[in-house]
Amino acid sequence: MPTYTPPLRDMQFVLHEVLNVTDHFQKMPAYAEVDADTINAVIEAAGQFASEVIAPLNVSGDTEGCHLDPVTHAVTTPNGFKEAYKTFVEGGWPALSCDPEYGGQGLPHTVNQCLYEMCNSANQAWMMYPGLSHGAYECLHAYGTPEQKKKYMAKLTSGEWTGTMCLTESHCGTDLGMLRTKAEPQPDGTYKITGNKIFISAGEHDMTENIIHLVLARLPGAPKGSKGISLFVVPKINVNDDGSLGSPNGIHCGGLEHKMGIHGNATAQLVLEDANGTLVGQPNKGLQAMFVMMNAARLGVGGQSLGLTEAARQGAVAYAKDRLQSRALAGPKHPDKEADPIIVHPDVRKMLMIARAYAEGGRALILFTSLQIDLSLHSPDETTRKRADGYVTFLTPIIKAFLTDNALMSTSHSMQVFGGHGYIKEWGMEQFVRDARINMTYEGTNTIQSLDLLGRKVLADGGAKLKEIAGLIQEFSEQEMKNPAMHEFITPLAWAGEKLNKITMNVGMKAMKDPDEVGAVAVDYLRICGHLIYGYFWARMASVALKKVDSGDPFYKAKLITARFYFAKIYPEISMLVRTIEAGSATLMEMEEDWF
């Protein structure tokens, strides 16, 4: 069974040496008293919970899965999950970054992200229960009525209740405008909701006494398509005005999806039959409110993939150091042993380095984005808030798609390091691959994320958000070009920025004549953006490491080596992507449908 060691040193490096988060927190009244010692103490305790409480349940949870009682519609989670969740709640972890008005601890989202990464590394399926609840909390915090907040916020904050988002139906996935679930107004201002939802993560379980579902449905006479969707709170158990639990609501689990991964999480088919619900936000404006939760989920999926990349990498490194197989090509490295450990072999090292570069680059990107969320919500300066919100908007589809793509590659490489043992369940590596593959699909496929980035976040606003990011990179590059030691990192960064600028203009011109051009190149375009952003953060990390490389701490030497590996062995993918984008849509669209 794989073991997991929280990457505290690297987290602290990114937080305190690269991002200097406490300098930013001191300028925000809500976080002015959050210092480095507090952050370090919290993430150390979070790492202990992740590695000691939920990591041991990962393989067993995958083996056992969740079980549905077809008579009572109750779902039982794997052994130990419920007890681990109780420990999680008792430790106050669900409330870490929640509003103190509802019982939260009021710590930054940036700190909460460290907790989430480590828990995702330890046990993604388990972490999805509280992870989705946080999205429901954010949605109600932004759009809930005073009555809804009074009923639900404190329980969601404490973790006593969990939350879900119910979007998908069997006939419609991303195209939510096709949904058929109906909401009938009642004289008392509530609604009776009827319909069927599928793929609802954590939709039914035995870990809490109530589940708060956020459900998309149509009101009578609503406009067709996405402009006629409303959002409703539908609790599993009705909640009385005094906050006590009442009768069971008209919503139950009709089945569990049998998935290739995340077996420990109950992915439910939910049946609503005149379920009681209350409207969130304005009628027919449900997507606006739901996108608060959807965007949180997309960032969360990126974090899940970061966690899997780190966990798989650790397992592969440990195995590569221990497994004896053949001799090094340059001659025996360990002549006292019957063979050398496989970590001496160049291709094994390449696979390990790819996973390391993607894990550490992804960590820097996600923590930076989490800091921007904190700034967008709590900075006293309006310009700073607006700029930070623009960064988050632009980076969200990249985090969801780029990190999940990279996770599949990294977990696959890590499994390959094990050779034939990688396919054996007891080692735990094949589970990481299965779990990682799911992340590329849900919360909007990576193609949808790519279309969102290129179509909405770049072309639709004339490239304004892209220019903001480009300006951030350019400012850093101009400053660092004064240091000759940084040229090896800044030169490829500038080259990629120029390529992206040219591609963006060319695609925009082609799209005016043929909209299929956007669909043909969007995935490759997002991947170029991902590499440019990773390149920026690897250059930033290299800049810090260069200043401390002679300190005697091998951490900084390893960081520099990984930065050089990224630019030498991974970053050149941009050249291939440029070629495929330049090829356009012709060879994709010429084939007649009947010829496939």
pLDDT digits (tens, 9 = 90+) for 497-508: 999 999 999 999
Q: Is the pLDDT of residue 291 over 80?
A: no
Q: Is the pLDDT of residue 432 over 90?
A: yes
Q: Is the pLDDT of residue 396 over 80?
A: yes
Start-to-end C-alpha separation, the chain: 44
| C-alpha dihedral, 511 to 536 to 124 to 418, nearest 10° | 100
Residues 257 and 143 in one domain: no
Q: Is the pLDDT of residue 266 over 80?
A: yes
Residues 172 and 248 in one domain: yes
Residues 192 and 93 in one domain: no
pLDDT for position 596:
92
Give the pairing of strands 211-217 and 267-280: unpaired
What average pLDDT does this structure show over 165-173? 87
Q: What confidence category does residue 188 fall into, taking pLDDT thresholds of 50, 70 and 90?
A: very high
Residue 148 lies in a domain: yes
Residues 173 and 126 in one domain: no
User: 169 forms bridges with which residues in the sheet?
Assistant: 172
Task: Kindly list the catalytic residues.
Answer: 443
Q: Give the whole-angstrom CA distance, residue 315 versus residue 295.
A: 31
Residue 228 lies in a domain: yes
Residue 526 lies in a domain: yes
CATH number at residue 197: 2.40.110.20
Residue 345 lies in a domain: no
Residues 17 and 136 in one domain: yes
Residues 261 and 125 in one domain: no
Half-sphere exposure of 467 (CA within 13 A, CB side): 6
Residue 390 lies in a domain: no
Number of domains composing the chain: 3
Residues 96 and 148 in one domain: yes
Local structure of 410: helix, strand or coil: helix
Q: Is the pLDDT of residue 175 over 80?
A: no
Residues 60 and 108 in one domain: yes
**How many other CB atoms are found less than 10 A from the CB of residue 86?**
13
| Domain span at 229 | 160-285
Residues 120 and 95 in one domain: yes
pLDDT for position 544:
98
What average pLDDT does this structure show over 263-281? 97
Residues 143 and 264 in one domain: no
CATH number at residue 108: 1.10.540.10
Q: Give the whole-angstrom CA distance, residue 540 versus residue 441.
A: 31
Residue 334 lies in a domain: no
Residues 195 and 130 in one domain: no
CA distances (Å), origin 560, targets 27, 285, 541? 31, 49, 8
Q: Which residues contact 584 (CB under 8 A, 6 or more apart)?
A: 510, 517, 520, 521
CA distances (Å), origin 384, targets 364, 376, 399, 469? 20, 7, 21, 14
pLDDT for position 135:
86
Radius of gyration of the chain (CA): 24
Asked if 309 and 230 count as a contact pair (C-beta separation under 8 A), the reply is no
Q: What confidence category does residue 571 fall into, taking pLDDT thresholds of 50, 70 and 90?
A: very high
User: 76 forms bridges with which residues in the sheet?
Assistant: 67
Q: Is the pLDDT of residue 586 over 90?
A: no
